[in-house]
């Protein structure tokens, strides 16, 4: 009877050890997501999506309604410095040009080299005015027309 208890105890410990081995270890995280633009200078250029993170080892991917905003990730860097810091002052910023008005679900993800998400954050952002990209004098004139003008 004693050997059955020992076997049960060993089986239980083995199960706990296996579960613990697969559990994620506490890691650095995305700590802030912000969207700026659109209201400061309506209808001009791109807006910015900014992320603050405690992890510089993994690049940040930006998604708008599940679609990648860029085909390349942004590597976070310490604000004002060319390298990473262990503080939460590391930022990654991307220009964003929403194509439709309405609510956009913005998701930012840090992914490791295998493509696994190590940290993420999301925020809904309501686009009321579509920004236009100013690339020349004609575009500039069209961009400044009031809504409804042709």
- Tell me the residue range of the domain where 52 lies: 30-143
Question: Does the pTM of the predicted model rise above 0.85?
Answer: no
Residue 25 in any domain: the answer is: no
Pairing of strands 90-96, 60-64: unpaired
Percent of the chain residues past pLDDT 70, beyond the cut? 57
Residue 19 in any domain: the answer is: no
Looking at the structure of the chain, the number of domains it has is: 1
Greater confidence (120 vs 44) lies with 120
pLDDT at position 31, please? Answer: 87
pLDDT grade for 1, boundaries at 50, 70 and 90: low
According to DSSP, residue 83 is labeled: S
Residue 1 in any domain: the answer is: no
Residue 127 in any domain: the answer is: yes
CATH number at residue 123: 2.60.40.10
Residue 2 in any domain: the answer is: no
CA distance readout (Å), 103 to 27, 97, 116, 126: 31, 14, 27, 4
Residue 150 in any domain: the answer is: no
Residue 20 in any domain: the answer is: no
Residue 48 in any domain: the answer is: yes
């Amino acid at each position: 009877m004693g050997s059955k208890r020992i076997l049960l105890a060993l089986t239980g410990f083995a199960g706990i050890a296996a579960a613990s081995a697969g559990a994620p270890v506490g890691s650095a995280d995305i700590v802030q997501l912000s969207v700026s633009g659109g209201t400061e200078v309506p209808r001009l250029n791109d807006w910015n999506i900014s992320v603050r993170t405690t992890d510089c080892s993994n690049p940040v991917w930006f998604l708008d309604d599940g679609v990648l905003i860029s085909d390349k990730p942004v590597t976070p860097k310490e604000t004002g410095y060319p390298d990473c810091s262990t503080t939460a002052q590391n930022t990654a910023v991307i220009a964003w040009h929403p194509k439709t008005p309405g609510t956009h679900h913005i998701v930012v993800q840090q992914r490791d080299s295998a493509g696994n998400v190590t940290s993420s954050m999301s925020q809904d952002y309501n686009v009321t005015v579509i920004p236009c990209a100013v690339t020349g004098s004609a575009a500039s004139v069209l961009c400044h027309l009031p809504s409804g003008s042709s």
